[in-house]
């Protein structure tokens, strides 16, 4: 998949499946990002309708460029403000699949001191110059609290598929926390010192309240990542 798939759209919001490799937003000339792709999509729709109103896309949350997943965008400033408030107050549910690699010679989570279902809680500091986050034992004014829940979904050899519920949206949070725990995400060269391949991370589900109607919204996608799909299939066939 090279273009986003529109899953749901109305006058206030747009929900879509962001492909891996496409930035949420970028200032680099000549590089496509979700913001420009969706604005062009809306311009095309308005042209058909005979409207010349400029397009509006409100970015209320982000996914790293190598991460695929379901995202919600606002189509009006009012919707953007309400969705942003939901995210700030942690009323938006964010669920991920993470394909991780066990250390060499290890064959289970227990062997590295982790349970099949648990919590990762750390203090994270972000280095803007290097665009990298790291975990520190010292809590200072520059650190931010990072919290997630994980549960093992499936395992094949030394690769383990985790279902993650993200409670705080820190910079590169899932990637840095899993690497620190000793189970880096497959393909994560930056944090896991892993061989380069498609990053094994997908935001597969998002839940929120519609900013205008108040209706509960819940959207899920099937990951495009073949290795994640293969492990999910083993669960279905079990």
Q: Known catalytic residues?
A: 64
Q: Which of 192, 225, 173 is nearest to 101 (CA)?
A: 192
- What is the rounded (10 degree) CA torsion for 99, 100, 104, 110? -110
Residues 13 and 226: their CA atoms lie apart, in Å, by 29
Task: Give 163: exposed, middle or buried? Use CB within 10 Å, 0-12, 13-18, 19+.
Answer: middle
Residues 199 and 196: their CA atoms lie apart, in Å, by 8
Q: Count Cα atoms within 13 angstroms, Cβ side, for 15.
A: 19
- What is the rounded (10 degree) CA torsion for 227, 230, 232, 237? -170
Q: How far apart, in Å, are the Cα atoms of 69 and each of 2, 63, 157, 162, 218? A: 13, 8, 25, 15, 14
Residues 206 and 35: their CA atoms lie apart, in Å, by 19
Other C-beta atoms lying within 10 Å of the C-beta of residue 90 = 13
DSSP 3-state of 104: coil
């Amino acid at each position: 998949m090279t273009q986003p798939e529109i899953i749901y759209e109305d006058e206030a919001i747009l929900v879509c499946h962001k492909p891996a490799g496409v930035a949420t937003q970028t200032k680099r000339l000549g590089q496509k990002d979700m913001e420009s792709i969706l604005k062009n999509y809306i311009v095309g729709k308005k042209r058909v309708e005979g409207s010349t109103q400029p397009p509006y896309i409100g970015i209320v949350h982000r996914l790293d460029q190598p991460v695929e997943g379901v995202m919600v965008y606002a189509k009006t400033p009012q919707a953007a403000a309400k969705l942003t408030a939901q995210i700030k107050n942690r009323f938006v549910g964010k669920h991920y699949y993470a394909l991780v690699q066990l250390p060499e010679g290890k064959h289970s989570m227990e062997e590295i001191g982790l349970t099949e279902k648990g919590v990762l809680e750390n203090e994270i500091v972000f280095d803007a110059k290097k665009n990298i986050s790291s975990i520190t034992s010292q809590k200072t004014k520059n650190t931010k609290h990072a919290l997630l829940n994980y549960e093992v979904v499936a395992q094949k050899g030394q690769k383990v598929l985790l279902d993650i519920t993200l409670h705080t949206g820190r910079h590169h949070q899932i990637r840095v926390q899993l690497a620190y725990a000793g189970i880096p995400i497959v393909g994560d060269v930056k944090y896991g010192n892993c061989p380069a391949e498609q990053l094994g991370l997908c935001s597969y589900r998002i839940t929120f309240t519609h900013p205008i109607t108040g209706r509960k919204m819940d959207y899920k996608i099937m990951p495009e990542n073949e290795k994640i799909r293969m492990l999910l299939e083993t669960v279905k066939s079990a």
